Structure 1
Amino acid sequence: MIRIQGIVKAAQIARSQLQAGVPPSRLLSFQGFIKETLGKIDEICANANMSPAQLPTPSRKAYEFLAQIDLSNLPVGSHNSPSVSVQPIRLKNIRNQQRQVLAAIASTVANPQNSHSQKQQLLKSLQETVATIEGICTQQNATPAQLNKTSRQTYAWMKFLTDESNLERHLSATRRTQKRAEEMLWTQMQHPCKTIAVEFTNMTHLYKGKIGPLEAIAQINEAFVNATDEILYALVRLAFLGKNQEDSQVIKEYALSEEYSEVVLELDFIADTEAENPQGKCYNLDRLFHTLNREYFGGKMLKPRLSWNRSFTTRKFGHYERGRDRVVLSISLDSDRVPEYVVEFVLYHELLHKQHEGKWVNGRLNVHTREFRQDEQKFCKYKEADQWLTRLASE
């Protein structure tokens, strides 16, 4: 039995869109999304010599839901329909749920001999909690995007950890940082505190630290989960010993890196559950994808979900979410002053992330491998597009 990521999420997106009604401008893209999702599942199953009926129950039910959608008779909504003001949803016990997850993470890190079984229990608990939150939103005819800031941040963090690879990276970073904190405070400094806690979570700050006679706590932004030991150790020193120029500079530089931005953007996008719309004001991502697929991928790449990000970004213009097979481009590119080849290049760059999986080197995920860079430079106007984006980022 194989597990195909993204099927349940695709069914959730389709269900939400059907409940709201598909706007006329999105009918074709919605039909294409359903057809391509089903085609992708059928292809994967065929290559594994199995049928979709043999998929795990959640995936099988999601596939059956998608397959029964009557694409010729979709419920039609409208962008012009009067909008209903939705008050931000506050989840009363969200902080308590977060503390329970952090306690389970600490227990898993502290007991490496039972880490596999504990990790699976933690994963199941996260999935159930996330499903409960999404159910609460559905009952109120809303999506997680309507949660208030605190609830939305915590939901996005827990949803992020339901991806097993993300959870594994989180546990690894926590384990390494916890060990370093204990060595520094207990062994090197002989500090009398009885407990030391290191927590990675979705937060506004880069890090926070508090050290007292009985307890020392360091909270670190989740976006540092891909960082090297050098970066993590600098965070420990800053959190517990206070600021120093050398470590602060190291952390600031990493916070401007692509590795950091990738996680920040993924967390930001998780709560944005609105159906994707590839049609921008000036550029249609579906059309650009088909051009790039034909010219650079031999027409063999399965189209990912494509959408424009509603927020402007100044340092990063695109992002590929492997878990949801989605490419998101910044609407700062959707302008008549931006040449089409520049938008094509950013989309091409993100499609290469779909084609090339990253490689772990010395505990760090390298997403821009030598093979990636070689393929990136095959873009016909690589230098011109790169220079254009450099100028745009500096504005």
Structure 2
Amino acid sequence: MLRISGLIKLTNSLHEEFFRCSRLEGKEYQAAIQSSRDDILALTTSIHKKLSAYDSPLNQLTSPARQAYLWLAYLVEEDHLEQHCRSLARAARAFQTALPRKQNFDIRFYNCKYTYSIHHNSQSVHATLHEGFIYAPDSVFNEIVKTLKKNASAKNNPVIKAFIATRPFQNCYTQLNPSLKPKKIHIQGAFHDLNASFERVNRKYFNNKLEKPTLTWSARRTYRTMGCYDVTKDILTVSRSLDHQTVSLHTLDFIMYHELLHKYFGTKSVNGRHISHSARFREAEKSFEHFQQAAQELQRISQEEKKRQSRR
């Protein structure tokens, strides 16, 4: 097992830092978010470099360390950290409003193996909710407090059950609990070859200067997302919906180009927000030779695939 010194201790201190951030406003809030994000990004990048030497990197970590690493990696994506802190403020408000006699509140979101856990006594409340609850509306937090007051189970609460079944919660849960089996890599599709697409795009738009990431088709056909780039694993995935004889090469190459732009530009923070589609990114994206045609074809493919899946 690979040892990451102080990782679990750091997550505990981050919970305290996030709770403090959730009470800040304006420039103080933005500065605190920026500082936390920079620290987390530096740590996750360092861990990723250590893990990259192994064929099955996540298997090198103990279960607690793996939970912590995946949680930190999730927080630095998009605006997840800001969403985390703002939702933390809403959750704390729900607990404090419903339980005014309690003096101490320790509310946190984490990559836990359970939906949520709450311990309380006459003075204090300690609640750990799965990270997916950062997408919960206030009504869900209110229901969680009700189950606490009634000493009831969340399993029987229709509001909580309905939220857990939503796409935002499920997507978060899936990302934080990946299979420990090595990801199956499929480069050669039934009709299109990702290697060939990368070579075309790299030659035409990046002067052959981009190092090739791991390329793979998705396990299933999709209609919402046609591609994604995982910076922590350097894996570029293209939706299997594009592996069809009716899909043009320039549409496949556009998705390849879009995801490679993520690799090329990376992400940056602006006023505390994690930006992956910057103005420079959008400008470069529109320089794709068949931009309009590809966008139109992708819209058609998405609509057709959505209809196909709805009929199943």
Q: What interval of TM-score do these two structures reach, taking the shorter chain for normalisation?
A: 0.5 to 0.7
Q: Indicate the residue corresponding to 2:93 in structure 1.
A: 183
Q: Indicate the residue corresponding to 2:302 in structure 1.
A: 389
Identity of aligned residues (%): 16
Q: Indicate the residue corresponding to 2:196 in structure 1.
A: 287
User: Counterparts of 1:380 and 1:219 in 2: how far apart (Å)?
Assistant: 45
Q: Indicate the residue corresponding to 2:262 in structure 1.
A: 353
Structure 1, unmatched stretches of 5+, are 1-88
Q: Indicate the residue corresponding to 2:142 in structure 1.
A: 237
8 A Cα contact 2:8 2:65, kept in partner:
no
User: Counterparts of 1:357 and 1:144 in 2: how far apart (Å)?
Assistant: 22
1:318 aligns with 2:223: no
Moved more, 302-311 or 268-277: 268-277
Q: Read off the aligned partner of 2:215 and give its amino acid letter.
A: S
8 A Cα contact 1:218 1:240, kept in partner:
no
The 1:384–1:274 alpha-carbon spacing in structure 2 relative to 1, beyond 3 Å, is: closer
The 1:194–1:265 alpha-carbon spacing in structure 2 relative to 1, beyond 3 Å, is: closer
Task: Report how far residue 348 of structure 1 moved.
Answer: 3.3
Q: Indicate the residue corresponding to 1:305 in structure 2.
A: 213
Q: Deviations over 1:260-295 (max 9, x none)?
A: 85x667656796666966444543222112323455
User: Counterparts of 1:162 and 1:319 in 2: how far apart (Å)?
Assistant: 15
Q: CA RMSD in A?
A: 5.6
Pairing of 1:1-395 with structure 2 (within 5 A): 100=9, 102-109=11-18, 143-144=56-57, 151=63, 155=66, 157-159=68-70, 161=72, 165=76, 170=81, 172-187=82-97, 189-192=99-102, 194-201=104-111, 207-208=115-116, 210=118, 212-213=120-121, 214-221=124-131, 224=134, 231=136, 233=138, 236-241=141-146, 255=168, 261=171, 267=176, 278-280=187-189, 282-294=191-203, 297=205, 299=207, 302-309=210-217, 311-312=219-220, 314=222, 315-331=224-240, 333-334=242-243, 340-354=249-263, 367=276, 372=282, 375=286, 378-393=291-306, 394-395=308-309
Q: Deviations over 1:32-82 (max 9, x none)?
A: xxxxxxxxxxxxxxxxxxxxxxxxxxxxxxxxxxxxxxxxxxxxxxxxxxx
Between 1 and 2, higher relative CO (CA 8 Å, sep ≥ 6) is seen in 2
The 1:208–1:274 alpha-carbon spacing in structure 2 relative to 1, beyond 3 Å, is: closer
TM-score normalized with structure 2 length: 0.59
1:380 counterpart SS class: helix
8 A Cα contact 1:234 1:251, kept in partner:
no
Task: Report how far residue 312 of structure 1 moved.
Answer: 2.2
TM-score normalized with structure 1 length: 0.49
Q: Read off the aligned partner of 2:144 and give its amino acid letter.
A: A
Structure 2, unmatched stretches of 5+, are 22-27, 148-156
User: Counterparts of 1:127 and 1:179 in 2: how far apart (Å)?
Assistant: 25
User: Counterparts of 1:378 and 1:275 in 2: how far apart (Å)?
Assistant: 31
